[in-house]
Each structure stands twice: as structure tokens, then as C-alpha cells.
Amino acid sequence: MRLHKQSRANRGIYNSRRPNLQSTIAGHCPNVDDNKWSLCRALVTGLLVLLVFNSTPHAAHADESSIVNRQQRRIEVIERISPSVVCVMPPGGQGGGSGVLISADGYAISNYHVTSGSGDFMKCGLNDGKVYDAVIVGIDPTGDVALIKLLGRDDFPFCTPGDSDLVKTGDEVVALGNPFLLASDFTPTVTYGIVSGVRRYQYPAGTILEYTDCIQIDASINPGNSGGPLFDIDGKWIGTNGRASFEKRGRINTGAAYAISVRQILLFIEHLKSGRIVDHGRVEFTVRTSPEGVVEVDEVSQLSDAWRRGMRSGDELLSFGDRALRSANDFKNILGIFPDSVRVPISYRNSDGVQTATVRLLPLHGFDKAPKLPEERRPEPDPKKGEPDDHPDDHEGAHDAPDEPKVPEQYAHLFQQKDGFANYYFNQQHQDRLIGSLEKSLAGNSTRADRTWELSVATTIDGQKRTGQLGVGPQAAWLELSGLRSALQPRSEYTEQNEPQLFRGLLAATLQWHRLFQDRKAFSEITYIGSEHLLPSGRIVRTLTTQDGTIQSRWYFQEGSPLPIGADVQMSVGVDEARLRFEQWKMDGPVPFPARVGIVDNDTETVRWLDVDSLKVGGTQDNKSASVEVKTEVAS
């Protein structure tokens, strides 16, 4: 019946499109003579035969060849990705884990619980059968990720990352690594499986290692696989295997293992390259899943960004880091993939509707030293002690650092000890690079702390053009705009009330800007942090922090530009950051100055700009004091 209708419908379409043909066939067919009818029949039969012949046997053939093709493809993929897989061993050669190369200059990702027992220098085997020296670069103890650098080549094979957010349950995956340290020539072992679940959360379980938003797989993961890559079936790196569910059967695969998502690792990689002990973040509010199934804000600290943006207990948290939330567990999952101290967009709903804001994450642990792992998380087998399942709990020795760790002499300079860092050498390198090019742009101005700047500025407020001056000297910064009350911020004592109404934080941040350009030795500390998405623009920037007394500033640099595109300055706890932004540096003055300087309004996440026409450098100490005095009078 349905077919009948369909055929009518089809004829209808036929009719409307081909009226001539329709009339020919529909008009003549009922009266066709035998010859014509048999011709039609033959045609139909021929068509049928053709179709049947074409489809069925062909399809079966295609199935078979597609299996062979898929198999061949898998073999090719494994051949292609195997060279990037690393066997990570402590210098003594006992125990070990796995890793994956991510760049030609030798950076490789492994697990923290693999490198933590290996010392600052380790040996790495690749599937070319060669052993390379490697040095620790950065660690993320909470996320169980470590970055190391293989040495001695600048053309290491490396993997291609995929998008772990697109991974679905049921996807085919291959895990590569060195379970039980089987391969003496470092050819990685390949295990195949499917994705058993995505966005899983694994509790810290008595240790600091917390796996959030991870990929659950049924591919075999055993001691020694830790730190090794998980690839999708196209050979894209989607995760780092590091944890498995073991229970009554000993420390061997039971069909449930977990990989840290590549999305999380990519968010951390630049931070790890800074040589720091990288921390995860926390927020200053708590959430719970309400009985109605919504994620409800439980408590909010009154000193927090969230509080100042109006978030209160009972509001519904809708998204965090641009990902929609379905449960409190979801929230924990998403929070866990971010490094500490980055700014994250959130949205929530209160009685006034949906609100958006951004909040800065605080450090979760604040490690000064690399934390020690409990015995149970030192997982790699010691082949000399027999099969690991014979001694499921006996891992002593596997991670005992050798008595005299052998530091390769030619690489000894690549490691520097410092509190808060896995290897300060790498931080120093980044600082030198960023500060070095900044220095060059300033052309010798950097030590003239006594100079004052007078920037002639203009802006439009409520449709009215205002002109005036933004000034800064060693003792104070000020802003005067025609028709508006002037503001002056002394350096000695920060007062939020002194900030100009429409440019909150501009003066405090300008004082820091002046210091970065003219008096860097006044900073007690400079640290390279890593990279982040600078809000509100979302641009990817490298971050350098400076410490000036209790004031911390984050300076943002874009690749290829020596001068910052902005700074977020934290004056004190419980007060909004001053978020300074720069556009188009002009190099023709005595000191480079931006064509536009702006301040991010924390409530609206928009930038209010001042156009800068010129920058005049004032001379001596006397000039500057005089000018500050004058301004004080105006301000009062």
C-alpha cells in the first residue's frame, strides 16, 4: 500500500517535470502491442539483473576487501605512529614507563608517576633501537602529566594530536607503550580496544593524582604502559594512558583503563614548558546537583570574582569554560582540565536571567616541591623481579633512584633546581627570550626609573569627545580628561577609590607598566607561566608574571611581538584585577607607546579604550614631583 502510494507520488513528480514524456508513456502503455510490452519487460528484467548483479555480489566482495583494507590501514597507521613512542627509563635502567614525542626538538609527554621515580635525567628508548638522554622539563602532579625533553637530535619523529572532545564511546583505539618492558629494542607494544566511556572522573583515591574528563578504554593497559599514548584509529594522539581499575586480580589489565585527554594535556603543555610544577585550579564557590537535576551554586566566597560578578547561593551554574553542565560531576570534570590561575568564562542563571562572567582560578595545591607519591602509585615493573602479577605489591627497587644518578656531562647545564620548579633552566630560557626582545624594543630605556611619561589621550564618553593626559612617574599615576574629575593613584598606597570611574584599575596597572618598561629590577620576581586564552579577545598569549611587593601582574605576549598586548594586575585579595590592554605599539617615540590603551570592564567584559596620540618623556626627579603636586591639587 505504501509502495503504491509512493509510486503514485513518484509519478506525480515525473509528470510535473517531464510532461512530454509522461504523455507518451502513460498515454500509450495500456495499449502497447505484444512486441512493445516484451521490450519493456526485457528492459525491466535487464535492469533488475543489472541491479542485482551490480549490488549484491559486489557488496559482499566490497565487505571482504574493506576488511582487508581496514587491516592494511591499521598496520600502516601503527607503522607511522610507532616512531614517536618513547620508552622512559631511570638512568639505572630499572623499571620504566612510556611516553610520546610531541615535537621535533624532543619534547615528550609522559606520566608524572613515571618520571617522579626517574630523577632529573633519564634514558629514553625509541623504536629505532637507540637510547637518548632526556631531562625533566615540567610536571603536573595532580594531572599525572610530565614533560621531558629528549636530547641529541632536532629531528625527532613526533605524533599529531587529535581532538579528544570528539572521541565517542565505541571508537576504535590503539594504545602503544612498553607493558612489562617487553621490548629490548624499544619497539612499542600495541594493544587494541574500543572507547568504553568518555568524560569519566577518577577520584584521587588517596593520592594527589586526579583524572578528570578522561577517556575509558578496554585496550589492555598494564604496568609499563603508563605515560604511553592512546591513538584513535587514524593515528591521531587522543590521550595518555596512565591509570587502570585493578582489584582482586592483581595489577594487570582488567578491561578498564583511563587515558588523560589530549585536550587537557594541550591546555597544560606551554605551562609545562615553563619548567614549573604546574598546578590545577580551584574556584571560590561550591556546587551541587539539586534534586531537580540542575547544577546549583551552594556557597560563594565573598572575596571571589564570582561574588563580585553577582553570583549567589542558589543560582544555577549553566556552563564553565564554555561547556554546558549537566551535573556537579560534570563541573568537577571540566574544572580539572584547566591549569591554575587562568581566567575561565562561566554562565549562570539567577532571578534576573542568564549572566555571564569570567573568573580567575586559584591554585589547588601550591606545591613548592614535587610531591612524593604513595607506594601504590609507583607502578612500573622491575623485570629482574619476575612477572609483576606474581608480586603485585612489590615495586620496591623499580623506582629507587640509583645511588649516584648519572648526569650526562654535556647536558648538566640543562637542569637547575629551584623551589616551585621541576627544572628552572627552562623558565630562565623563556624569561630571557621574552625580556630580551622587550629590552631590545625599549632601546636602552629600561633603567631610567626616574622618568615620567605623559601620554596625550582622547576618548568618547556618552557621545562627547574628551581629551586629556595619562601620566605616570615613579611615585604616582594620574588621568585627567576634559570635563571629568581627575584621578591620581600614588604608588606608595593603593586605594581603589582613587581609580577613575570609567577606567577602574587603569592607574594601578599603568604604574606596573611603567615599572616593567623602566625599572624591572624593582620586581622581586619574574616568572614565565605558559600560555592561555586572553579574555575577552580569546587570543592565545604567553604569560610572564612579575611580583612587586604584594602586587602580582600577568603580562601577555603574542607570538612574534616583543611588546605585551595586555596585563592583568592583582592589587590585593578581594579586589577586582586591573585588566590593561594595549593595541598597536608605535616605536617612533623615545619610549614605545600603544596607539590605544584600554581597561577591561569586569562587569561587561568589554574594553573601554583611550586613543593615544603621543608620549612625552619627562626629565628629572624635580619635574616629576612638581607635576605630581599640581595634579594632586586638581584631584582634590
Partner 1 sequence: MNIVRCLTLLLACILAKPAAAIPPSLHEVVETKRNVVVKLFGAGVGTLDSYGSGVLISEEGHVATVWNHLVNVGFLTAVLHDGRRYTVDVVGTSLEHDLAVLKLNSDDDEVFPFLDWRTSGKAAPGNAVLSFSNIYRVATGNEPVSVVHGVVAAETVLDAGLGRWEFPVKAPVYIIDAITNNSGSAGGLLAAADGTTLGLMGREIRHRDTDMWVNYAVPWSILKSPISTILEGRTVRTTSSGEEDRKLISDRRLTSEFGFTLLPHVLDKTPAYIDRVVPDSVAATAKLRRGDLVLMVDETVIQSANDLRAALATYRKGQRVSLTVNRDAALQVLQLRVP
Footprint of partner 1 (CB under 8 A)? 3-4, 6-8, 10-11, 14, 25-26, 29-30, 40, 44, 47-48, 51-52, 55-56, 59, 168-171, 193-194, 196-197, 199-202, 216, 218, 245, 247-249, 253-256, 289, 293, 326-329
- When the beta carbons of 47 and 540 are compared against partner 1, the nearer one is 47
Q: Tell the smallest beta-carbon distance from residue 263 to partner 1 (Å).
A: 18
**What residues contact residue 563 under an 8 Å CB cut-off, 6+ apart?**
438, 441, 557, 582, 585, 592, 594
C-alpha cell of 249? 586480580
Q: Tell the smallest beta-carbon distance from residue 14 to partner 1 (Å).
A: 7
Q: Which of 374, 402, 373, 378 is nearest to 388 (CA)?
A: 378
Q: Tell the smallest beta-carbon distance from residue 258 to partner 1 (Å).
A: 8
Q: Tell the smallest beta-carbon distance from residue 32 to partner 1 (Å).
A: 8
The Cα–Cα gap between 172 and 78 comes to 13
**What residues contact residue 594 under an 8 Å CB cut-off, 6+ apart?**
563, 582, 583, 584, 585, 586, 612
- When the beta carbons of 48 and 68 are compared against partner 1, the nearer one is 48
- When the beta carbons of 1 and 573 are compared against partner 1, the nearer one is 1
Q: Tell the smallest beta-carbon distance from residue 329 to partner 1 (Å).
A: 5
Q: Tell the smallest beta-carbon distance from residue 230 to partner 1 (Å).
A: 15
C-alpha cell of 194? 574500543
Residue 336 CA to its chain's centroid (Å): 11
Asked if 372 and 340 touch (Cβ cutoff 8 Å), the reply is no
C-alpha cell of 1? 500500500
The Cα–Cα gap between 467 and 246 comes to 69
Q: Is 366 helix (H, G, I), strand (E, B) or coil?
A: coil
- When the beta carbons of 56 and 69 are compared against partner 1, the nearer one is 56
The Cα–Cα gap between 494 and 317 comes to 34
Q: Tell the smallest beta-carbon distance from residue 289 to partner 1 (Å).
A: 7
Q: Tell the smallest beta-carbon distance from residue 259 to partner 1 (Å).
A: 13
- When the beta carbons of 71 and 245 are compared against partner 1, the nearer one is 245
The Cα–Cα gap between 469 and 130 comes to 64
Q: Tell the smallest beta-carbon distance from residue 28 to partner 1 (Å).
A: 10
Whose cell is 578528570? That residue is 212
- When the beta carbons of 231 and 421 are compared against partner 1, the nearer one is 231
- When the beta carbons of 171 and 316 are compared against partner 1, the nearer one is 171
- When the beta carbons of 326 and 440 are compared against partner 1, the nearer one is 326
C-alpha cell of 60? 559482499
Rounded to 10 degrees, the C-alpha dihedral 215/217/219/223 comes to 60
Q: Which of 164, 101, 109, 98 is nearest to 139 (CA)?
A: 109
Q: Is 528 helix (H, G, I), strand (E, B) or coil?
A: strand
- When the beta carbons of 49 and 595 are compared against partner 1, the nearer one is 49
